[in-house]
Structure 1
Amino acid sequence: MSQGELSGDRLVEVLATLASPHRLRVLAALTSGRTYVSQLARDLGISRALLQVHLKKLEKAGLVTAHLELSPDGKALKYYEATPFSLHLTPDVVAAAVATLSHEGSN
């Protein structure tokens, strides 16, 4: 994500996604490197089902990516990793983003 593509709707999506303490913890855990769902759930002490909900939201917002890989014993493992991004918010950046909000994003 770069500042050039930071539309109002995109800003709302990213900030809403990051507004969850669980999703912040997931993203922080992925800064150590990619890992698969079961290991990440154990590391964070949450259920795989709850983790999947948060990972899907992070993936939809473009903050994490997923890759399916086969383990040596033939099991399919879904690995997640953080997507590199930089978000620098200033009043001017917010004002420029607001000017591009769609009607759906301006609730």
Structure 2
Amino acid sequence: MPEVPPPAPTGDTLLKVLSALGNPHRLRIVAALVERRNYVSALAREIGMGRPLLHMHLQRLEAAGLVVGTLELAEDGKAMKYFEVAPFFYELTPQVIARAAATITESADRTEKEEAK
């Protein structure tokens, strides 16, 4: 049975994904999580970033559906949030971009303008 290609992303989704990946720190985070899932403190040490800044970047990646976070209890009872890369595939062609552009909502337009400030 042939594999069905994923549906083309909406304009809002594509903007969120491209915006999330348009930062070198977030690209490094995704690259580190491809190797293995990790918890915030260990990931912060691995990529040399403070936890608050890392957490902000992880939230952005999670909102775009690129990473998934799960809260787990350690043996000592401490709650730890682990992150891993979510499976994703985006094909960028002029046609995909044209279809996505036709579906951009006003709220996505406003969000992009606010984030640019």
Structure 1 equivalent of residue 77 of structure 2: 74
> For the Cα contact (< 8 Å) 1:3–1:88, is it kept in 2?
no
Deviation (angstroms), 1:3: 4.2
2:35 alignment partner, SS class: coil
Counterpart pick for 2:15 among 3, 12, 16: 12
TM-score by length of structure 2 reads 0.85
Counterpart pick for 1:59 among 52, 55, 62: 62
1:93 paired to 2:106: no
Question: How many aligned residue pairs are there?
Answer: 106
What letter is aligned with 1:18?
Answer: L
1:29 paired to 2:35: no
Calculate the aligned-residue CA RMSD, in Å: 1.4
- Indicate the structure whose relative CO is greater, using CA pairs within 8 Å and at least 6 residues apart: 1
Query: Aligned partners of 1:104, 1:74: CA distance in 2, in Å?
Result: 41
Structure 1 stretches of 4+ with a deviation exceeding 6 A read none
> For the Cα contact (< 8 Å) 2:72–2:79, is it kept in 1?
yes
Map Cα deviations across residues 29-55 of structure 1 (whole Å, 9 max, x no partner): 000111100000000001001100000
Query: Aligned partners of 1:70, 1:32: CA distance in 2, in Å?
Result: 22
Query: Aligned partners of 1:105, 1:72: CA distance in 2, in Å?
Result: 42
Structure 1 equivalent of residue 86 of structure 2: 83
TM-score by length of structure 1 reads 0.92
In the alignment, structure 2 segments of 5+ residues that lack a partner are: none
Sequence identity, in percent? 50
In the alignment, structure 1 segments of 5+ residues that lack a partner are: none
Query: Aligned partners of 1:17, 1:3: CA distance in 2, in Å?
Result: 20
